Chains A and B, each alone.
Chain A
Amino acid sequence: MLILECPYCGVKAEETELSPGGEAHLKRFGPGSSDADFEAYMFARKNPKGVHFERWRHAYGCGKWFLAARCTATLEVFGTYPAQTSEPPAEIIANIMAKRPAWKGFK
């Protein structure tokens, strides 16, 4: 059962205080978008073994959504950060690169 630190209120919350929200950094495609783009937005998920970015809500705490970078194989957490960004912050990327030199990076 994971522990993730909420970047808004600083609580190191255990999983039962959080609710999961799936993959992070999805780009929304609305009316006018191609079928392929809409399909990718709606259904295509990376599901990697390794470094992954995901959405969590501090549901039983401050109620804020935040994002987490973690390894799906070892459950190592590389960092959490506020949701108001379209890609991971540089320090999170640097942290991952330091621990997973073979990581191909965030696309």
Chain B
Amino acid sequence: MSDPVSPLSGARYDGFATVREIGPLGMITLRAKTGTPGLEASVMAATGCEMPAVRHVVVNGANAAGWMSPDETLLVLPYADVAGALSKIADAMKGQHHLAVDVSDARAVFRVEGAKADQVIRKLSPVDVDLLQPGELRRSRAAQVAAAFWADEGGFTVVCFRSVAAYMFGLLSTSARPGAEL
């Protein structure tokens, strides 16, 4: 079998901020209501992360767990670890109503980096970036498509659907063009 390829094979643009497509990353959508027995243990077993608070993401090295909705958690982990993580979740949540699915291939992930990386976000999403709390995961839109992002060291991680990866890369790089600093 071939190696998995991310939608843009690691495209990169250097403007006043740097835009890099990263991945493929492992991602699991875990749907279960907050408080379901075994949910916190599942998140810990799959990612080593504590259960994220409302609208927050917990980052643990290459792993992360993000609050997506009252009954959905996004788990981020190495691509190769997904199958193992799914079986750990199945064990931890045995007998509990839940849904855990591999969505690693359904997403495109970008890093927007540099001192002015926030300006790229400010041009695309109707989000008050100044008021984002540390570790806040914001689901919104970037121009015309759904996107989720959070700030971490040196910039932002931006996640969107795979099919619109080229559109998102176009948005991010256009917004990061030199001379267009806010």
Contacts and interface: CB of A to CB of B under 8 A. Distances in A.
Are any A and B Cβ atoms less than 8 Å apart in their complex? Answer: yes
Interface string A1-36: 000000011110010110000000000000000000
Interface residues of B, number: 13
Interface size bucket, A side? 10 to 19
Interface stretch (B5-13, B138-146, B162-170): B138-146
Interface in A45-77: 60-64
Contacts of A16: 126, 141
B69 A9 contact: yes
Contacts of A60: 139-141, 146
B25 interface: no
B139 to A, nearest CB: 5
Interface string B97-134: 00000000000000000000000000000100000000
Q: Is the interface of B mostly helix, strand, loop or mixed?
A: strand
A61 B139 contact: yes
Contacts of B72: 62-63
B131 to A, nearest CB: 10
A60 B126 CA distance: 11
A14 B128 CA distance: 11
Contacts of B4: none
Nearest to B68: A62
Interface of A: 8-11, 14, 16-17, 60-64
Top 4 A-B residue pairs of the complex, sorted by shortest distance between their CB atoms: A62-B69, A60-B141, A61-B139, A14-B126
12 contacts: A8-B69, A8-B70, A9-B54, A9-B55, A9-B70, A10-B54, A11-B55, A14-B126, A17-B141, A60-B140, A60-B146, A64-B70
